[in-house]
Structure 1
Amino acid sequence: MHSLSMGKGPAPTERSVPVFDIGQVLLRWDPRGAMAPHFDTPEAIDSFMHEVGFMDWHARQDAGRPVAEAVASHAALHPAHAGVFAAFYDNWLASVPGEVPGTRAIFEALLDQGPVFGISNFSRELFDRTVPAYPFLGRFTGLVLSGDVGINKPDARIYAILCERHGLEPGRCVFIDDSARNVEAARAFGMDALLFKDAPSLADALRARGLAV
């Protein structure tokens, strides 16, 4: 028996429309992988990330700030670490070490049945570097990247953009994300939403919504 936080699904006569996050749902992401050559231990990387506010800094790239601008601005603030900021994006794919086990098969099974959409906090520059390594990411029926619209989840506007672009009713969407904040925001917007834990529990939850995976 697997655990998954489950929201309220659509009426039985309606087909749920899957909406996937990417990071930690379809692809693994660990920024430490791209920075490891510059540090002796994982603890040293963690200390660096805390010192420079790494995750907040990276989130601004997710919201559309160009990578080159981001590297220059933070290198000026933290000159002792200037090389690390540049190396992180130069070695970007080292931060994406593989697929989350089992979820691509679910994604592709759903595509065989109908449209599958995505909402991801992802820089357009970095997404375009990632797709050649993971071509299945190019198969979304529709995808809203935060870097394209300048809005990160959990801002309600990014969910609205997806629905408006593709004529989707929020109540028919089943949104899948590893972040509780993003899941709660999707539910507040009116979507059914699942907090991702692993592929088997996701498959169970989708089958409960009438989707064959």
Structure 2
Amino acid sequence: MEQIKNIVFDFGGVLIDWNPVYLYRKIFKDQAETEHFLNNVCTYQWNVLQDAGRPLAEATAEKQQEFPAYKDEIAMYYGRWAEMLGGEIIENSRLVKPLSEKYNTYGLTNWSAETIPVAIERYGFFNYLKGMVVSGEEKLVKPDPKLYYILLDRFNLNPDETLFIDDNAHNIDTAGLLGFQTIHFTPDMDLEEVLTEMGIL
């Protein structure tokens, strides 16, 4: 195993707590209505299309035509998007600065190009990244290998020397096939402990 020189973070679910429920539980009267809306109207799969580069205004207008009864609620998805940010996952995000002093740190994220500036402005850990690849800017989403190759080429990284941390198993699988060292982060994991055991921290 090659010595680690680079660490690449996914953002949502690893460093940032993002969940549409944070917004819609303020809008709908009960949990069942919130779940219905997010499972059938503004779904996770629909949001991924915007992560892949589709303009937010276009996505919103199409969805409003499809579900006119929810026109106002659909407009809120990106109109009040910042309210979906639950904050930093602080036990992980506080590791970025010390890691950046020993390694080259980067981001590889599925995120809309139109909303990522909100997160960058809000969270200080972005200051410690040498660079990032944002799916919405590249019009590709993980786990498409092409997005990983953009990261490797742009920053001249060797995957054997690069540790990739993501909470999505499919994204981790692709990284592993491409030769990255990986950590599949789960909510019950102590990332600091894992990195310490690996001799990284």
TM-score by length of 1: 0.88
Q: Decide whether the 8 Å contact of 1:103 with 1:199 is kept in 2.
A: no
Q: Decide whether the 8 Å contact of 2:5 with 2:103 is kept in 1.
A: no
Residue 49 (str. 1) matches residue 49 (str. 2): no
RMSD between aligned residues: 1.7
- Which residue in 1 is equivalent to 2:64? 75
SS in 1 for 2:90: coil
TM-score by length of 2: 0.93
Q: How many equivalent residue pairs?
A: 201
- Which residue in 2 is equivalent to 1:66? 55
Matched residue type, 2:121: P
Cα distance, 1:200–1:45 mapped onto 2, change above 3 Å:
closer
SS in 2 for 1:116: strand
Gaps of 5+ in 2: none
SS in 1 for 2:182: strand
Report the alpha carbon displacement of residue 205 of structure 1 after superposing the two structures with TM: 2.7
SS in 1 for 2:200: coil
Matched residue type, 1:28: D
Report the alpha carbon displacement of residue 198 of structure 1 after superposing the two structures with TM: 5.0
SS in 1 for 2:88: coil
Gaps of 5+ in 1: 1-9
Instruction: Please give the alpha-carbon distance, in whole angstroms, between the structure 2 residues aligned to 1:32 and 1:138.
Output: 28
Deviates more, 1:192-201 or 1:16-25: 192-201
Q: Decide whether the 8 Å contact of 2:94 with 2:125 is kept in 1.
A: no
**Match of residue 116, structure 1, among 86, 95, 105:** 105
Matched residue type, 1:128: P
Report the alpha carbon displacement of residue 200 of structure 1 after superposing the two structures with TM: 6.3
Matched residue type, 2:100: L
**Greater relative contact order (CA < 8 Å, ≥ 6 in sequence):** 1
Residue 173 (str. 1) matches residue 162 (str. 2): yes
